[in-house]
Amino acid sequence: MGAMKIPGPVKPLSSLFPVFLCAILLTPSAASAELQQSQRGGASLQASFQYLLSDFSGPVASQWARLDFDPRQQELYTLDQSLNEIRIYNQQGMEVFAFGGDGSIVAAKDVAAGDDGAIYLLARNFQRDAIQVLNFRGEPQAVITLENLPEKYQKFDPDRMKCQGGLFYLLDSRELQIVVLQSDGAFRQAYDLTADFERMAREQDPEKKKTLSLEISGFSIGTDGSIYFTVPTLFSAFRLKPDGALAAFGSPGSGPGKFGVVSGIVADPQGNIYVADRLRSVVMVFASDFVFLGEFGYRGDRPEDMIVPDDLALDPERHRIFVAQAANKGVGVYTISLGR
């Protein structure tokens, strides 16, 4: 597996600094009614806010919910980790079903919609409860356990799970390991990213020897089987192609396209990449060659604004992006159109 640092788009932001400073000091606090967005020359990004996921009494509160979109049913799944509750929303963003809040399911870290209509839960106690298979009503049907893991993966304790193309992708965000399973749980492939990250960290900080403290934040799988993830303390996002090629992009900063504390990441079928930033409270969009195309979002109180965005999910057909947020704000839904 080769690690290669591809620098982000080289826009000479430095020369613009005095301008930005003036802008900070002169911009009035008046809120405009439009969604704040910016785009890079040559690209066109149109993002518009639709709604917050709701039930009949209004927007549903949640804190950093885990998201998964089921393209077959056009439904969005959310897992509220503190209530251990799964909610399912239809095309209009209205809740159609909820379960688990009463203790009927095992404590879960992540949820994934299967291609087969089943709902998969990644158990908090993975050793004991593994992957739980539920039917569409949330009733437990079976358990998939992980067997025949290579020696190197003995400490593997996943906290994220995605289901794509009939495969399970499990991530242990602290051991920096990814394991791919067949739908019956049979081991298929595994990646250990420790060495790559260590190398990258050394490159960034050659003379100092420090305790490695890296953690993966966002995690998703593209339609071609590429694995996308972010590492906030490296100020970087990554794409791991099915052939094992690993590429990184991003650089720290607070201007458009720069990384503060990056979190959720998803890619559309064309390979465009969406990256959420908790600190900057925006979602950035990059082309498949990592060129920054634009961003949308603004930290504020209005429904269309964002507060500490985290997990993302994408509806490729209707070009919708789901943004899980903090401050109990719930999940915002935006539509996007991209041109170049």
Partner 1 sequence: MISDRLLSRTRPAGRPLFVAAALVLCVFSGHSYAFHDGGAGSCNACHSMHSARSAGESLLLSSDPSSICLNCHAGPGGPNSPSVFSPDGSALTPGGDFYWLIRSFSWLNGSSPGDNHGHNIVAIDHNLLPDPQLTLAPGGTYPSARLGCTSCHDPHGQSAGGTRWGAPPVSGSGSYGTEPPGGAICGNFRLLGDPRHRPAGGAAFVADAPVARQSSVSRFAESDGSHVAYGAGMSEWCGNCHGAMLDGGHRIEGSTFTHPSGRGALLGQGVVDTYNSYLRTGDFSGSAATAYLQFVPFERGTTTLQLLDPNSRQGPDANANVMCLTCHRAHASAFPDAGRWDFTAGLLADSHPAVGDVGATVNDVYFSYYGRNLATEFGAGQGRFCEKCHGAATP
CB 61 within 8 A of CB 330: yes
CB of 173 to ligand HEC, least distance (A): 12
For residue 126, what is the enclosing H or E element? helix 126-129
94 or 212: CB nearest partner 1: 212
CB of 71 to partner 1, least distance (A): 28
Give the residue among 300, 321, 299 at the shortest CA–CA distance from 311.
321
Question: Is there binding between residue 235 and partner 1 (CB under 8 A)?
Answer: yes
Count of residues near partner 1 by CB under 8 A: 56
Which whole-number Å values give the CA distances from 6 to 10, 43, 181, 246, 335, in the listed order?
A: 11, 20, 30, 10, 29
CB of 81 to partner 1, least distance (A): 4
Question: Is there binding between residue 261 and ligand HEC (CB under 6 A)?
Answer: yes
Structure tokens at 257: 């396209």
**CA pair distance 77, 90, nearest whole angstrom:** 9
Question: Is there binding between residue 15 and partner 1 (CB under 8 A)?
Answer: no
Of 46, 54, 81, 335, the one binding partner 1 (CB under 8 A) is 81
Residue 158 near which of partner 1, ligand HEC, none (CB within 5-8 Å, type-dependent): none
CB of 213 to ligand HEC, least distance (A): 4
Of 47, 60, 67, 109, the one binding partner 1 (CB under 8 A) is 109
CB of 279 to partner 1, least distance (A): 6
Question: Is there binding between residue 327 and partner 1 (CB under 8 A)?
Answer: yes
Task: Considering only residues 194 through 223, tell me which ones interact with ligand HEC, judged by CB under 6 A.
Answer: 213
144 or 326: CB nearest partner 1: 326
Question: Is there binding between residue 232 and ligand HEC (CB under 6 A)?
Answer: yes
| Cβ atoms < 10 Å from Cβ of 41 | 5
The DSSP call for residue 61 is P
Question: Is there binding between residue 275 and partner 1 (CB under 8 A)?
Answer: no
CB of 52 to partner 1, least distance (A): 15
CB of 274 to ligand HEC, least distance (A): 20
Task: Considering only residues 246 through 265, tell me which ones interact with partner 1, judged by CB under 8 A.
Answer: 252-256, 258-261
57 or 213: CB nearest ligand HEC: 213
Task: Considering only residues 299 through 318, tell me which ones interact with partner 1, judged by CB under 8 A.
Answer: 299-301, 307-308
Q: Three-state DSSP class for 336?
A: strand
Task: Considering only residues 17 through 76, tell me which ones interact with partner 1, judged by CB under 8 A.
Answer: 17, 20-21, 23-25, 27, 29, 31, 63-64
**CA pair distance 274, 182, nearest whole angstrom:** 27
Q: What share of the chain is helix, strand, coil (3-state, %, to 5)?
A: 10, 40, 45
231 or 267: CB nearest partner 1: 231
**CA pair distance 331, 340, nearest whole angstrom:** 28
Cβ contacts of 98 within 8 Å, gap of 6 or more:
85, 86, 87, 88
Q: Three-state DSSP class for 21?
A: helix
**CA pair distance 338, 139, nearest whole angstrom:** 40
27 or 148: CB nearest partner 1: 27
Structure tokens at 53: 């996921």
CB 99 within 8 A of CB 139: no
DSSP track, 174-193: TTTEEEEEETTS-EEEEEE-
**CA pair distance 332, 169, nearest whole angstrom:** 25
CB of 229 to partner 1, least distance (A): 15
Of 50, 54, 233, 335, the one binding ligand HEC (CB under 6 A) is 233
Of 10, 12, 58, 82, the one binding partner 1 (CB under 8 A) is 82
